[in-house]
Structure 1
Amino acid sequence: MSSIADNIESVTRRIQKATLAAGRPVESVHLLAVSKTRPAADLREAFAAGQRAFGESYLQEALDKIAALADLDGLEWHFIGPIQSNKTRQIAASFDWVHGVDRLKIARRLSEQREPQLPPLNICLQVNIDNEASKSGCRLEELPELVAGVGQLANLRLRGLMAIPDPQQDDQGLRSSFHRLADALAELRHRFPDAGPLDTLSMGMSDDLELAIAEGATWVRVGTALFGARN
């Protein structure tokens, strides 16, 4: 069985190959290790192999791991799950990034509850790129209003967009979904030059990261290819 270190090396090679094939600098794409449901020991092993950014979806589980790994310097914690209003205070206090903001109400709470001594919280707006009834995220046409509102929140740093396309599509369909998200980010960057860096596309996972990178992904969220299938 491959070790987590071997898997990180393998996925990193995939990312580098896809990034170079897209004519982009290797350092323009970052690996987010999706560590939800994984024990702290697995994250510690990944850290020893050089991984620093970890994505969590279940708040209490994440807080337990953050405490258990507090001795490791340089960890970067990303909240990637749906956000309930009663969870925003702890998310604002404990995470460096949030990838799933889809309502202004949630953004306001995160900004208000971010401790003033902390740097602004990096956020991505989640888009329901294929308009799936079962998925969270705003629609593309709702983005301008949301960006305008978030741009007024002092303790947030709007970095870009996040989406999970419909996995039932073929490669052409997936690539089209990624392309629409990239186009939306480019349009927002032009329309809202002062809203934030707008430099981030969080898209692509274990099975489709090459397609996402070809369309401009800057964060790929990989769990299974690093840690194996979840129980």
Structure 2
Amino acid sequence: MPKVDLIPTGSDGQRPVRWHMIGHLQRNKARKVVEWTRLIHSVDSLRLAEELQALALKRDQVIEVLIQVNCSGEAQKFGVPVPAAIPLAEQIETMINVKVRGLMTMAAETETPDEARAAFSRCKDLYDEMKKIGFSEGKFNLLSMGMSNDFEVAIEEGANIVRVGSAIFGKAAAAMPEVEEKEAPEVEDAEAPVEGV
């Protein structure tokens, strides 16, 4: 299946589709993401949040984000450790143009979907704790968990957003692989096309 350019090139200001960014986001690719996406699922550092704040401020807009939390404990997964999620959210709360709307996690690749339950349950417990704190003036209400192979278990554990591109479009057409791998360190000020939007 050919790659499709998902970002409109016209200047009429029309945005008929509301895109979510679901893959790992490098800071040097954030400009296009801020321009065209409604929700970023993968904020996992203060530096990335600060970059999004600077870009959104220039555009006079508010960008909504989910904090990516590594609830499986796998070294190759992106995301902040569970104990770091609340401190990161507290730091983002001081920003004017970035709003934390919830959490995102990816479970480990397992033999059966039910084996992913522990990671989803851990993320839901953290989500409930953070919801009680009242982040984003009570608009902390999104929990993105589960992909094509384990979304039913994720829903049972409380997910209200699932990422099921492979189930809908097939594995070859999925925008992101089912298992994330660490990338090489990002290069500052490099220009590159946005992937995974």
Q: TM-score range by the shorter chain?
A: 0.7 to 0.9
Name the CA distance, whole Å, in 2 between partners of 1:73 and 1:194. Answer: 25
Name the CA distance, whole Å, in 1 between partners of 2:54 and 2:110. Answer: 38
Name the CA distance, whole Å, in 2 between partners of 1:90 and 1:194. Answer: 24
Any idea what SS the aligned residue of 1:114 has? helix
Name the CA distance, whole Å, in 2 between partners of 1:38 and 1:205. Answer: 22
Change (3 A) 1:169 1:108: farther
The runs of 5 or more residues in structure 2 that have no matched partner are 174-197
Aligned to 1:230: 172
Residues 93 and 115 in structure 1, CA contact (< 8 A), matched pair in contact too: no
Aligned to 1:65: 6
Change (3 A) 1:88 1:194: closer
* Aligned-residue offset at 1:116: 5.6
Aligned to 2:73: 131
Residue among 167, 174, 183 paired with 2:116: 174
Kindly indicate which of the two structures has a greater share of residues assigned to helix: 1
* Aligned-residue offset at 1:134: 0.8
Aligned to 1:158: 100
Any idea what SS the aligned residue of 1:74 has? coil
Paired positions, count: 172
Name the CA distance, whole Å, in 2 between partners of 1:144 and 1:110. Answer: 19
Residue among 43, 48, 51 paired with 1:101: 43
**Deviations along 1:127-181, whole A, 9 cap, x unmatched?**
1111111111000001111010011111112110001100126444311211111
Name the CA distance, whole Å, in 2 between partners of 1:198 and 1:73. Answer: 25
The runs of 5 or more residues in structure 1 that have no matched partner are 1-36, 41-63
Residues 99 and 123 in structure 1, CA contact (< 8 A), matched pair in contact too: yes
Per the normalisation by structure 2, the TM-score is 0.78
Q: Quick one: which amino acid aligns to residue 143 of structure 1?
A: A
Matched, 1:200 2:142: yes
* Aligned-residue offset at 1:190: 1.6
Residues 99 and 136 in structure 2, CA contact (< 8 A), matched pair in contact too: no
Name the CA distance, whole Å, in 1 between partners of 2:26 and 2:32. Answer: 11
Name the CA distance, whole Å, in 2 between partners of 1:120 and 1:196. Answer: 16
Name the CA distance, whole Å, in 1 between partners of 2:66 and 2:87. Answer: 15
Any idea what SS the aligned residue of 2:159 has? coil
Matches within 5 A, 1:48-63: none
Residue among 148, 154, 177 paired with 1:212: 154
Matched, 1:82 2:49: no
Change (3 A) 1:149 1:169: farther
* Aligned-residue offset at 1:189: 1.4
Residues 114 and 121 in structure 1, CA contact (< 8 A), matched pair in contact too: yes
CA RMSD of aligned residues (A): 2.4
* Aligned-residue offset at 1:204: 1.0
Q: Which sits farther off after the overlay, 66-75 or 159-168?
A: 66-75
Q: Which sits farther off after the overlay, 185-194 or 114-123?
A: 114-123
* Aligned-residue offset at 1:68: 6.0
Aligned to 1:120: 62
Change (3 A) 1:73 1:109: closer
Per the normalisation by structure 1, the TM-score is 0.67
Matched, 1:187 2:137: no
